[in-house]
Amino acid sequence: MSIGGNWDRRVSRRDFLGVGGLSAAALLLNPTGAMARESGRAGYGPTQSDPRGMLDLPEGFRYRVISEEGSKLSDGTPVPGDHDGMAAFRGKGDRTILVRNHELRTDDANPLEGRNPYDSTQVGGTTALVVGPDRRVIRDYVTSSGSTNNCAGGGTPWGTWLTCEEDRLTVGEQEHGYVFEVDPSDRENDLSKTPITAMGRFSHEAVDIDPRTGIVYLTEDDFEGFIDDEDPSSDTRRSYFYRFLPNNRRQRPGALQQGGALQVAKLDEAPDDADFIDLGQRFTVRWITVNPENPRDDEGALAADATRFNRLEGAFFKGGAFWFDDTAGGEARLGQIYRYLPEPNNTIELFYEGTDKNKLESPDNIVVTPWGDLWVAEDGDFGNRIIGFTPEGRSYVFANNRVPFQDSPGVPDGEPGERSEFAGPTFSPDGETFFVNIQSPGITYAIWGPFKPRDASRQRMMAHAEPPKSLRPEVSGELSEAAERYGMSELEAAAFDRLGVPLA
């Protein structure tokens, strides 16, 4: 290939960002500098086939089913279905308290039966499981009720759970589409049925909090509009990335009820549609204050021309970085993982994009492990895994779900072989047990084995790590020289090369 001339006379930077196929191009090396890579294999080795046909794990790991949909809670009522987001908190002694969402609507099987509901017509909410050191449930109970389609949420630094309604609906005079704070030590109290209206009414998905500043970050999973698989530029689907600046940052139960400012993210130098953000690119975020009563449309994100995502899902803040993902993002629709760094430069970066089903398909809930790896739960159609990414730039599979999807009454059967999704990945406070759900049929697992020891320094490394080496571009010396000569990054030069755009 002959390279020369002035590249910007042939195609502008904006045209370049809008060209299809960028996601198949290359990854930019982290501008903060490459880290030393792991020697040997990442993770814990290949998963082993489970004779029970439930959960494949690496050698040396074991699991126990600690809760199943339709069995009995401690008060004799049924364990609700549709297990979803979850967090683990330290209980008395060496106990762990799990708080678990139930993504239930009124026509779903095994509804949640509460005693002090926000809306008595609705069947969603949260339960708690008190787990002993032997990884068995000591007792379990409803912690909030009367909400709808409680998809994800997030734990607070002060030991409560924020549960998020994914549906915006009005039943009589009661509105839905809010975040509620749940205190596992004070079940179904007034706080748990009081919406945090200042956090906005929209299709909430997940939330997490920067423990240093008290700022709350929120993702939206809205199904309004459609995705055009043949022409991404024709998409009308839009979900947004928000943050909430609390008036009261004392970080205690109820403080978030005292109001604050809701803001939406806009990346001025990026494409309006995040599908066309390329891997490794970083953009400065401009935060725009919106009306919490109508944050999406004429008084909010739409009017502000905020950056559009497809369906934002999981969220987790650790090591100074806020991680979130778009389960339908990217030009192959296999999903994207983003990293937001509030400090030092208030930037968002596309960390990973699915281009091959063997690498990533439909990322959903997300967590940073105690030893610093990033774990992502998939929500793919025909195989759901827990996939790990290391700060040293490697990826691996930790778990493979083999439980078939169970449809709710009145819902058409799924295709043969379709698997239920992983949800709610979280670690016990001591880091020795991994808890995760299967959504339908609702199952909660406790998993243990030779996990690596806690390592806060690797958690901080992950916040600035390079994406996995396997997706970095192979850039020839000639191409690298041309990139330098014309003021381009190797990422841009490799993308032009892959797209067949001449640089001469």
Chain-centroid distance, C-alpha 328: 12
pTM of the model: 0.85
Q: Same structural domain for residues 138 and 63?
A: yes
pLDDT band at residue 15 using 50, 70 and 90 as cut-offs: very low
Looking at the fold, whether 324 and 213 belong to one and the same domain comes out as yes
Q: Is the pLDDT reported for residue 37 higher than 50? A: no
CA distance 431 to 421: 23
pLDDT in tens, 88-126: 999 999 999 999 999 999 999 999 999 999 999 999 999
For residue 66, is it within any domain? yes
Does some domain include residue 430?
Answer: yes
Residues 501 and 404 in one domain: no
Q: What share of the chain has pLDDT > 70, as a percent?
A: 81
Query: Which strand (E) or helix (H) includes residue 15?
Result: helix 13-18
Instruction: Decide if 63 is inside a domain.
Output: yes
Q: What is the DSSP string of 143-190?
A: EEEEES-EEEEEE-TTS-EEEEE----EETTEE---EEEE-TTSTT-T
Does 36 fall in a domain?
Answer: no
- Position 466 scores a pLDDT of 82
pLDDT at position 495 over 70: no
- Give the integer Cα–Cα distance in Å for 467 and 486: 25
CATH number for position 459 = 2.120.10.30
Tell me the pLDDT tens digit for each residue of 241-265: 999 999 999 999 999 999 999 999 9
Do the beta carbons of residue 437 and residue 151 sit within 8 Å? no
Both tokens of residue 181? Answer: 């704070």
Q: Are residues 361 and 495 in the same domain?
A: no
- Identify whether residues 68 and 180 lie together within a single domain: yes
d(Cα 108, Cα 103) in Å, to the nearest integer? 9
Pair 11, 55 in one domain: no
Asked which of 146-155, 196-205, 486-495 is least confident by mean pLDDT, the reply is 486-495
State the pLDDT at residue 326.
96
Beta strands in 191-342, from DSSP E residues, in sequence order = 204-209, 216-220, 241-246, 260-266, 282-284, 286-289, 312-318, 321-326, 336-341
Question: Are 236 and 305 found together in one domain?
Answer: yes
The pLDDT score that the predictor gives to residue 226 is 73
Q: Name the band, by pLDDT with cuts 50, 70 and 90, for residue 469.
A: low
Residue 303, phi-psi category: left (phi > 0), alpha (psi -120 to 50), beta (remainder): alpha
Q: Which pLDDT belongs to residue 277?
A: 87
Q: What is the pLDDT of residue 234?
A: 72
pLDDT in tens, 323-355: 999 999 987 889 999 999 999 999 999 999 988
Token reading at 456: 């806060």
Longest dimension (CA), the chain: 76
Whether residue 325 is found in the same domain as residue 409: yes
In a domain, 147, yes or no: yes
Residues 484 and 414 in one domain: no
Q: Report whether pLDDT(177) > 90.
A: yes
Do residues 464 and 480 both lie within one domain?
Answer: no
Mean pLDDT, all residues of the chain: 86
Confidence category of residue 383, pLDDT binned at 50, 70, 90: low
431 sits in the region (left: phi over 0; alpha: psi -120 to 50; else beta) called left
Which of 131-135, 174-178, 351-355 is the least confident region?
351-355
Which residue is it, tokens 């500098």? 33
Mean pLDDT along residues 391-420? 76
**Torsion angle, CA of 432/438/443/446, rounded to 10 degrees?**
-10
Domain assignment present for residue 35? The answer is no
Query: CA 409: distance to chain centroid?
Result: 28
Domains held by the chain: number: 2
Q: Which amino acid is residue 42, in one-letter code? A: A
Query: What local confidence, expressed as pLDDT, does residue 348 receive?
Result: 97
DSSP 447-495: EESSPPPP-HHHHHHHTTPPPPGGGS----HHHHHHHHHTT--HHHHHH
Is 31 inside a domain boundary?
Answer: no
Residue 125 CB neighbours (<10 A): 30
Handedness of CA 291, 122, 182, 310 (dihedral sign): negative
Query: What distance, in Å, lies between the first and last C-alpha atoms of the chain?
Result: 9
* Domain hosting residue 504, numbered range: 1-26+473-504
Please tell me whether residues 232 and 323 are part of one structural domain. yes
Q: Closest Cα to residue 199, out of 286, 119, 263?
A: 263
Whether residue 259 is found in the same domain as residue 217 = yes
